[in-house]
Each structure stands twice: as C-alpha cells, then as structure tokens.
Amino acid sequence: MSEQMKPVRVRFAPSPTGHMHLGSGRTALYDYLIARKTGGKFILRIEDTDRKRYVPGAEEELIEGLHWLGLDWDEGPDIGGPYGPYRQSERGEIYREYARKLVGMGHAYFCFCTPDRLERVRQEQQKRKDIIRYDGTCRGLDPDEALKRVANGERHVIRFKAPREGVTTVHDLLRGDITVDNQTIDDFVLLKSDGLAVYHLAAMVDDHLMKITHVIRGSEWLPTFPLHALIYRAFGWQEPVWVHLSVFLKPSGKGKMSKREAAELGKDGYSIFIADLKQSGYIPEAVVNWIALMGWSYDDRTEFFTLSDLIDKFSLERLNPAPAAINFSKLDHFNGLHIRSLAIGDLAQRLRPYFEKGGLKVDPVILEKVTPLVQPRITTLDDAVDIAGFFFLEHVEPRIEELIGKDLSLRESAEIAQKSYKALESVETFNAENTETAMRQLVEELGLTAGQVFGILRVAITGQKVSPPLFESMEIIGKQKTLARIRYAVNLLENSVEKGYF
C-alpha cells in the first residue's frame, strides 16, 4: 500500500467572509476526494478568528454550497466530532495557551509596539526600498521584564521569533523542496493584542491537534509556508504533507477575478459563486466535474467523471501546480453532458422549480413527457423554460410575421394552416407517428417542403420558431389543444389577409 493510500485526515478550513466561490469549492472537493478514497476523514473547520471580517450567513452558505456539491464531512461545527470545537472563535483559550508555550520555549516573544509605530516603520522601509518587515525592537527584550509589563496590563502581541540566519527548507508535494533565506521570514504576529490568534498560529495548532495528515490549501499560502513549517518545528510536531493548489485565473488568463469582473460575468449567467451557479441552472454533477479538472487530470483522454468516479480515480500526485484560467464554455459543455446522463424522472424533478420560477403551472404528467424532448436541447436547467414553457401554457400568442412560411405569402400560409387543421382533425389516434404521416402526405399534395409547412405549424402550436420536435410536441399537447392553437393561428392569418397586411 502506497503512502497515499493510508487513511488521511484532511480539513477544509474556509473563513466565513463572503460568498462561497469556485476556488474554495475545488479545495473542498479535493479534500473530500482524498478522504473518501483513502477511507480517511474529511473535516470542516471554520476559521473565524477575525471578527472584523465576519459576514453573517456566510457559514450557512458555505455548508449549503458543500452539500449542494454533494460533499459531506465527518467532523465539523454542525455535527461535532472528537477534536472540537470546529469553529476557531471557540478555541481562543487553546491558542493563547500554545502561544504562551512558544514564548516559554524561546520561540516567541511579547511585543509592545503600537500599530502606529509599526506603520511608520513600514513606510520608512518602503521609502528606503528596504525589505518590509518587523524591525525587531521587542525581540531582544528581557523575558522577565516583558512578563512584568504584561502582568501590568500593558497592551501587547506575541510574535514568532524567526531565525535570523541560515535557510529553511520546506517540502510541497507538488513542487518538491522550497528553500528560502531565513532573512525573508518575518517575526509574524501570532497572537493579537485582543488575545485572538491569527491564522499562522490558529491553523497550525488546530491542524496538529486535529491530527491533520495532509494540508491542502491555496497557493496564496506559499509565501508564508516556511513560517508555518517553522511553527510546527518549534513545537516539535510532525509536519503534515503540504499541498498547495494553484489559483484560478479569470477567463482571459490574466490575473485573478476582481469583484467588479465577477459581477460583470453575471450578465452572461456565469458566476464564480456556487450559489449563483445553482440559480443559473447548473447542476452539481457538472460543476464538480468541471472544477475537478481545473488543476487535476486522470489521463490523456478521460474527462467525464461522476463524484464516485472521482473518488475512485483521484490522486494528489496528478495535481497540476500551474494556475488555471476559468473556462465557462467548458462548464456549459459539462452541464449538457451531465444533464443528458440524468434519468428522466430525476431531470424532471430538477426542471420543475425552474418552470415554476418562470411563472408556469407545472402539470407533473406533462412534465414527465416533456423532459425527454428537452433533455438534449438544454445546457442549463433554466433553458428549459424558454424552449418548452409553452407546454404549460393555456394559450400561446404567435407573432403574425413568424406564422408566414418560408418563401410563402400571407395568403398561402393561411391556406396551408387551414389545410393542416383539416388533415390533423381527421387523425383518429393523435400520436406523433400518425400526425406526421398525415402531414407529410399533405406536404406532398401541396408540392411544398416539409420545412415550409411544419414551420407554420410550429409557430402556431408553440408560439416559437424554435421548439422540440413538432409531432412529439403535438402529441403531448393533445389533439384538442393542438387544433385550437392552429385554429387561432388560421384566424390570425386570415384577419391579416383581410386587413391587407403585408
């Protein structure tokens, strides 16, 4: 059994600061896949140590988004677990304890510098084009003296005492060894003056305490990766396997998506937010398939994957460290593919809310019949409303200019509609086969093309120039309604003839 096959403990650790987006969805997916594949545990942990950035409702959206994608976890704030609590805001005392422990070990120190002074130092460093870092004022303070000041209630933070000389080598699964000069590792703040931990401390302590074996996170953590490894080493803990995922770039491939650009996408029904994608009629199977392949591949040809396929085939080794541009047309493609692979009953149930949202009253019997016609024709669920909404309408209102057949006059079109009515009226068993036979006969008698005649009927019956196959549609609508709609169209055409339009 390879190293990878041992049961892992992985965690998805989002901070509830906004909408759940594709990047976090992918990280969560990879976490989930490797956990399920190895028979390990997938843990959800909320990183909400920054109270200023907390967004109410974000945690709920996160949980909803994960569930929608089909991911479930073994431990988390909502279901508990043996290593809780799973919300960092509830673990403050733990971080304070470990921060003090680090001070005691000589790996961290109290710092009494004010944010004001720090800001001035930074600006000066900037002006001098120096390396921007903490200037070390409190680093050399006498520990007993510092402790006394703390006891006196002086406002302070705890900083990590990063090594000043030498290099630090860390290992990323995808990139191999990364060696940095220790001069570039700052004395980061571990514990803020409000007594709350920052990410660097909280995440490391939690990952260790929660026995996380593989840390899978975004590459925005690469620059502080050595610091994190150093914290592990200072405590004498065994490091997890570190995996830094590439970032998602905007479709152009130039830079990551800004807020404004994300909003701009919405005009085309696209979005980087999971909740929006659901709203737009994308199905989770497609989204999962799509994001799984942005940064991971199975081989040189297989692209269609269900969640369980992915559990079966996923491996961390086949992750790609290069940044990936988001390609929404590929999402459309996968959505179509997965929609077409759905069972009719399943698809029908998923379609229903979209029709209802479109103000249609859905007859379940009709819906079940309409679904197979719609299935190969939609790329998103809400496309069904445009293409097949007429099935659930009492009346349709064709546009007179669209009722005129190709290369035909208004008068001719009226006559054809009238003759079609007659032909269809005499069809006893009103199914697609019989109506098509009758109509093809009429087409031949008239010496016209099928396209000319069927086009008129299509507009009459569906109110649209584009629709599912005509005769199947007529069968679903039924003889009575079909004839009524043709009658209505005939009247429309004849009235226009009388009024001398066109």
What residues act catalytically? 259
Near RNA by CB under 7 A, which window of 47-55, 99-107, 228-236, 279-287?
47-55
Question: What is the three-class DSSP state of 202?
Answer: helix
Which CB, 263 or 364, lies closer to RNA?
Answer: 263
Q: Which of 47, 75, 207, 412 binds RNA (CB under 7 A)?
A: 47
Q: Label residues 155-182 b or e (16+ Cβ within 10 Å = b).
A: ebbbbbbbeeeeebebebbbeeebeeee
Say how far apart CA 476 and CA 432 lie, in whole Å: 9
Binding mask 405-434 for RNA (x = CB under 7 A): ------------------------------
Q: Is 336 in the site for RNA (CB under 7 A)?
A: yes
SS (H, E, C) 169-199: EEEECCCEEEEEEHHHCCCCEEECCCCCECH
- Nearest alpha-carbon partner for 20 in 328, 271, 193: 271
If the CB atoms of residues 18 and 494 are measured against RNA, the closer one turns out to be 18
Question: Is residue 451 at the binding interface for RNA, with CB under 7 A as the rule?
Answer: yes
Q: Exactly one of 2, 82, 93, 131 binds RNA (CB under 7 A); which one?
A: 131
Which among 95, 113, 221, 112 has a CA at the least distance from the CA of 170? 221
Nearer to RNA, 332 or 494 (CB): 332
Question: Binding of RNA at residue 377 (CB under 7 A)?
Answer: yes
55 binds RNA (CB under 7 A): no
Cβ proximity to RNA, 112 vs 488, nearer residue? 112
Q: Smallest gap, in angstroms, from Cβ of residue 140 to RNA?
A: 18
Q: In what order do the strands lie in the sheet with 189-191?
A: 108-111, 157-160, 189-191
* String of DSSP letters for 354-423: HHHHTTPPPPHHHHHHHHHHHGGG-SSTTHHHHHHGGGG-S-----GGGSSPTT--HHHHHHHHHHHHHH
Q: Is 224 in the site for RNA (CB under 7 A)?
A: yes
Which of 324, 385, 416, 456 binds RNA (CB under 7 A)? It is: 324
For the segment 288-307, give every residue that binds RNA (CB under 7 A).
293-295, 297, 299-301, 303
94 within 8 A of 87, measured Cβ to Cβ:
no
C-alpha angle with apex 249: 243 to 251, nearest 5 degrees?
A: 145
Between 97 and 119, CB nearer to RNA: 119
Please report, in angstroms and rounded to a whole number, the separation of the first and last CA atoms in the chain: 79
Q: C-beta of 199: minimal distance to RNA in Å?
A: 4
Which range in 94-102, 136-144, 245-253, 279-287 contacts RNA by CB under 7 A? 245-253
The answer to whether 446 contacts RNA (rule: CB under 7 A) is: no
Q: Is 332 in the site for RNA (CB under 7 A)?
A: yes
The least distance separating RNA from the CB of residue 287, rounded to whole angstroms, comes to 14
Q: Does 253 bind RNA (CB under 7 A)?
A: yes
Residue with structure tokens 């799509």?
290
Rg (CA), the chain: 32
Report 189-208 residues binding RNA (CB under 7 A): 189, 192-194, 196-200, 202
Dihedral in degrees, nearest 10, Cα atoms 277, 278, 280, 284 = 80
Residues between 463 and 492 that touch RNA (CB under 7 A) = 465-472
User: Which residues within the stretch 156-185 sit at the binding site for RNA (CB under 7 A)?
Assistant: 157, 174-175, 178, 180-181, 184
H/E run at residue 325? strand 324-325
Is 118 a binding residue for RNA by CB under 7 A? The answer is yes
Work out which of 275, 337, 446, 484 binds RNA, going by CB under 7 A: 337
